[in-house]
Structure 1
Amino acid sequence: MMQDSVKGIFTEAIQTQIAAADQLQEPLLRAAELLVDTLLNGRRIYCCGENMAHASARHFGHMMLTGLNFERPPFPVTALHADFGAKEHEAIFAQQILAAGQAADLLIVLSSGAQAPRVSKAMEAAVARNLFIIAITSDADTDVAGLLGPDDVEIRIPSRNTARVSEHILQLVNMLCHLAEQHIFPQEIDE
């Protein structure tokens, strides 16, 4: 019984990978271009995630500062802090964007579920401050996609399963970091 369950989890993960490989190439490349343009133009990047995706946002911020594939100068990326004790808990990311975000900076938001109130408020703040947005979402998303403008990018993972989406969010932030390093420091990448 448990063996069938384990095999089912692997099968679902593989099927999601195949669907993602077919559907996400174009938005991933657009997101990587926006990320690289932001870095090359001396702008800052902020990232945040809702619920389980918050750990992936912190992971992305760390990799962009320290390097994924090789030692390099840090990229100007800040993983927004989630202070669960704040009076305005749902506005915590938005407050940080309103305090520090500047026009043409970039906000990367990660959401593995249907609703993302903290991320949505951060996006509203980003729109008010004229930041660009990259959103990595799921097929279950009901909050994030509606806040994106024509110059923003959504990478919508083809799954409604929170575990599969969380796995792909981590993979996608690793890929974004790799693509940025590859473009900015091509001499360092071993193909």
Structure 2
Amino acid sequence: MLEQRIQQQFFESADLFYQVAENLSRPVSSAAQMLMDGITSGGRVLCCGFGQSSLDAVYMAALLVGRFEQDRPGLAAWSLDAQAHGSSAEEALTRQVQALGHPGDLLLVFDAMPSLSPAWQPVLAAAHAQDMSVIAITGGLQDEMRALLRDTDVQIRVQHSRPARVAEAQRLLAHCLCDAIDVQLLGASE
């Protein structure tokens, strides 16, 4: 019984990847181009998330600063810390965006839990006030985040009810974005 349950986890994850591949390829391509345009014109990428999604932000920033599958110069990116002393998570991220964000920079948001969307309002408002573009990698069956984004922002939403499946897809989306950046900067690897 336990083995069947484990196998079901793999099947459910694979099914989700297969189901969303076609629908997400366009927003991922748009986000990759937005990242390339920002990076090549001197912009920086500020990555953030709440709770477990903050780990995806740390991972993405590490891939951009370090490397994905090809050696390349580090790209100007870092993850923001939602755990700043004496502040709520949204207040901590908002203050960091206000202090560190500049026009032309990008805010890359990870959110596997759509119920947290209201907490993003001050963070995204701060990014927009700094003339930053936003890429939101979100999940869930409802689309609460869309109302917080501008038409020039990009949302990549994995429509699924389980945060674990969304988080798995978000890791793949981070890899897709890094691969697209590397291909544009370095060409395709063998």
TM-score (norm 2): 0.92
Separation in 2, partners of 1:168, 1:77: 21
The residue aligned with 1:62 is: 62
1:102-140, Cα deviation, whole Å (9 max, x unpaired): 122110000001222554432121112111000001134
Please list every run of at least 4 consecutive aligned residues from structure 1 whose deviation after the TM superposition is greater than 3 angstroms. 117-120, 140-143
1:151-189, Cα deviation, whole Å (9 max, x unpaired): 110001121210000011111111111111110122xx4
Compare 177-186 and 53-62 and name the one that shifted more: 177-186
Number of residue pairs aligned between Structure 1 and Structure 2: 189
**Distance 1:34-1:85 versus aligned 2 partners, 3 A rule:** same
Separation in 1, partners of 2:121, 2:105: 17
**Distance 1:25-1:89 versus aligned 2 partners, 3 A rule:** closer
The residue aligned with 1:161 is: 162
The residue aligned with 2:74 is: 74
Separation in 2, partners of 1:119, 1:79: 16
Separation in 2, partners of 1:91, 1:168: 27
Q: Confirm or deny: 8 A CA contact 2:113 2:163 kept in the other structure.
A: yes
Separation in 2, partners of 1:2, 1:132: 45
TM-score (norm 1): 0.92
The residue aligned with 1:10 is: 10
Post-superposition shift, 1:65?
Answer: 0.4
Separation in 2, partners of 1:120, 1:76: 25
CA RMSD of aligned residues (A): 1.6
The residue aligned with 2:125 is: 124
**Distance 1:119-1:170 versus aligned 2 partners, 3 A rule:** farther
